C-alpha cells in the first residue's frame, strides 16, 4: 500500500493530533489483520486429569474434528492433581489469546465450596466457551444384592436409617455429592464410605461390604455388562439416550421427584480471550460433538450431547455452583 504525505500549512497541535490518529488507525488495521487469521498455530487443551479417564477421552476424541475445522493441531496437555485445581490454575495463568483451553468438569463448580482458598478467581479468571454434554451417575449394587429395583432399595433405605452404606471414590467427588443429595431429598441416612479411587470402592460394592454406589457410567459399564454389578437407576433428570443405559429409570421417577446429579464436560479459555476466538472455538467444538465418531466413542460414558452458547455454559455452571454449595454446606462435606 502506497502512502503519500503532502505538506500543507498546519499548526503543530493539529499535526500532532493527525499523527496520533493515523498511528492508531494503522495499529488497529495491523492488529485486526493479524487476528483475522486466528488460529495460526497449534491450540493446547489442558486436561486436569491423568490420561485414560472420561475427561481425557472427551478431549482427545474432540481434538480430531476440532483440528479439521480449525486447520491447526490440537495438543492435549494432561495436568492432573488437586481435584483439577493444578490444571485449572495453569489455564488461568495462560495468555488470553485463544490458544489455551481447559476441559472443565463438575469439580470446577464444587471446588470453590470445598476449598478454603483457590489460586485463581472463579469469577474473574475464566471465559466460558461451551458445554459439551452431561453424563449420568448410575446407582449400582452387587449382583447378589437383595435389591432388584431402585424402588426396593429406596424403601429399605427409608426403613433402616443409618444401616445402609454407599461408597465413593473420595470426599467431594460426584459419587459423594450424589449420595448426599439423595439423603437430603429422600430423607434417608445412608452412611458414606470414602475410598481412594473408584476401583477399590466398586470392589467392595461387588463384594457386598458396601450396599450401593452412585458411580460414574464409565466406571461401571463393563462391570454391569459382565454381571458383577446390577444397575438400578440413572441420576440425570431424564433417561439416558445411550443404548447401555436407556432402559434404566431415573431416580426422580423412581420415588425422589426433582432429583438430579451427574457429571459434565465443558471448555474454558482464560478471561480476556477475544470474542472472535471464543466464537470460532465454540463453533468448532459444537460441530465436533455432533460427529458420528465422537458420539460413538462417548457412548460408554453415557454422555448426552448438550452444546450451546458461551452464555448458556456460564449460566449452567453458576447454577451448579449454587445448588452444590447448599448440599456441601448442609452435609458438612470436606475433601479427603
Domain spans in the chain, listed from the N-terminal domain onward: 43-134+262-331, 136-254
pLDDT of 25 higher than 70: no
Lowest mean pLDDT among 18-27, 140-149, 175-184, 291-300: 18-27
Whether pLDDT at 17 is above 50: no
Mean pLDDT within 267-278? 98
Confidence of residue 1 (pLDDT cuts 50, 70, 90): very low
What is the Cα–Cα distance from 237 to 130, expressed in whole angstroms? 21
In angstroms, how far is the first alpha carbon of the chain from the final one? 64
Q: What is the average per-residue pLDDT within 78-98?
A: 96
pLDDT, one tens digit per residue, over 145-173 is 999 999 999 999 999 999 999 999 888 88
Predicted confidence band at 27 (pLDDT cuts at 50, 70, 90)?
Answer: low
pLDDT at 58 over 60: yes
Share of the chain above pLDDT 90, in %: 72
- What confidence score (pLDDT) does residue 171 get? 85
pLDDT digits over 211-250, tens only?
Answer: 999 998 888 888 998 999 999 999 999 998 888 788 999 9
CATH of domain 43-134+262-331: 3.40.190.150
Cβ 256 vs Cβ 185: under 8 Å: yes
**Residue 196, pLDDT score:** 85
pLDDT over 70 percentage in the chain: 89
Tell me which residue has cell 449452567.
316
Measured between alpha carbons, how far is 11 from 300 in angstroms, rounded to an integer?
A: 74
Report whether pLDDT(32) > 50: no
Distance CA 259, CA 132 (A): 22
What pLDDT sits at residue 218? 80
Residue 253 per-residue DSSP state: G
Provide DSSP, 58-95: HHHHHHHHHHHHHTS-EEEEE---TTTHHHHHHHHTS-
The rounded mean pLDDT for the chain is 89
Residue 15 has pLDDT above 50, yes or no: no
CB neighbour burial string for 22-39, b if at least 16 within 10 angstroms, e if fewer: eeeeeeeeeeeeeeeebb
CA distance to 63, 74, 220, 319, per residue, from 70 (Å): 10, 9, 35, 31
| Beta carbons within 8 Å of 323's beta carbon, 6+ residues apart | none
pLDDT surpasses 80 at 206: yes
Q: Are 313 and 130 in contact (CB under 8 A)?
A: yes
Q: Where are the beta strands (DSSP E) in 143-228?
A: 165-168, 191-194, 212-216
What are the CB-based long-range contacts (under 8 Å, 24+) for 228-231?
A: 228/142, 228/143, 229/140, 229/141, 229/142, 229/143, 229/202, 229/205, 230/140, 230/141, 230/142, 230/143, 230/145, 230/147, 230/148, 231/138, 231/139, 231/140
Distance CA 306, CA 78 (A): 24
Radius of gyration of the chain (CA): 25
The span from the CA of 224 to the CA of 217, in Å, is: 10
> 124 to each of 98, 120, 121, 298, how far by Cα in Å?
17, 8, 5, 31
Q: Which has the higher per-residue pLDDT, 301 or 201?
A: 201
Q: Say if residues 255 and 215 touch (Cβ distance below 8 Å).
A: no
Q: Which residue has the higher pLDDT, 105 or 34?
A: 105
C-alpha span between 101 and 92 (Å, rounded): 9
CATH 3.40.50.300 fits 136-254, yes or no: no
Q: Do domains 43-134+262-331 and 136-254 have the same CATH topology?
A: yes
Whether a cis peptide bond, with omega within 30° of 0, leads into 39 is yes
Question: Please, which pLDDT band fits residue 54 given cuts at 50, 70 and 90?
Answer: confident
Query: Residue 128: what pLDDT?
Result: 98
More confident residue, 1 or 172: 172
Amino acid at each position: 500500500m502506497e502512502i503519500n504525505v503532502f505538506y500543507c500549512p498546519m499548526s503543530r497541535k493539529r499535526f500532532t493530533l493527525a499523527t496520533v490518529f493515523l498511528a492508531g488507525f494503522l495499529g488497529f488495521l495491523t492488529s485486526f489483520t493479524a487476528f483475522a487469521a486466528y488460529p495460526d498455530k497449534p491450540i493446547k487443551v489442558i486436561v486436569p486429569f491423568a490420561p485414560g479417564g472420561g475427561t481425557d477421552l472427551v478431549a482427545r476424541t474432540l481434538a480430531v474434528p476440532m483440528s479439521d475445522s480449525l486447520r491447526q493441531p490440537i495438543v492435549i496437555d494432561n495436568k492432573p492433581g488437586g481435584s483439577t485445581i493444578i490444571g485449572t490454575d495453569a489455564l488461568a495463568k495462560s495468555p488470553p489469546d485463544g490458544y489455551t483451553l481447559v476441559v472443565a468438569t463438575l469439580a470446577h463448580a464444587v471446588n470453590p465450596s470445598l476449598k478454603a482458598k483457590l489460586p485463581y478467581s472463579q469469577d474473574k479468571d475464566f471465559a466460558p466457551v461451551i458445554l459439551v454434554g452431561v453424563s449420568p451417575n448410575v446407582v449400582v449394587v452387587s449382583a447378589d444384592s437383595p435389591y432388584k429395583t431402585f424402588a426396593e432399595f429406596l424403601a429399605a433405605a427409608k426403613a433402616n436409617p443409618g444401616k445402609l452404606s454407599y461408597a465413593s471414590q473420595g470426599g467431594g467427588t460426584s459419587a459423594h455429592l450424589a449420595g448426599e443429595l439423595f439423603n437430603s431429598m429422600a430423607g434417608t441416612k445412608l452412611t458414606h464410605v470414602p475410598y481412594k479411587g473408584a476401583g477399590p470402592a466398586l470392589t467392595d460394592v461387588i463384594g457386598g461390604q458396601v450396599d450401593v454406589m452412585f458411580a460414574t457410567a464409565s466406571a461401571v459399564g463393563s462391570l454391569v455388562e459382565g454381571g458383577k454389578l446390577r444397575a438400578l437407576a440413572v441420576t440425570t433428570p431424564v433417561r439416558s439416550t445411550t443404548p447401555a443405559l436407556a432402559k434404566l429409570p431415573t431416580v426422580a421417577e423412581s420415588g425422589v421427584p426433582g432429583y438430579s446429579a451427574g457429571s459434565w464436560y465443558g471448555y474454558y479459555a482464560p478471561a480476556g480471550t477475544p470474542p472472535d476466538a471464543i466464537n470460532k472455538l465454540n463453533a468448532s467444538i459444537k460441530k465436533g460433538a455432533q460427529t458420528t465418531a465422537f458420539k460413538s466413542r462417548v457412548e460408554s460414558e453415557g454422555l448426552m450431547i448438550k452444546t450451546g452458547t458461551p452464555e448458556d455454559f456460564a449460566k449452567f455452571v453458576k447454577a451448579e455452583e449454587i445448588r452444590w454449595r447448599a448440599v456441601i454446606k448442609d452435609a458438612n462435606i470436606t475433601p479427603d
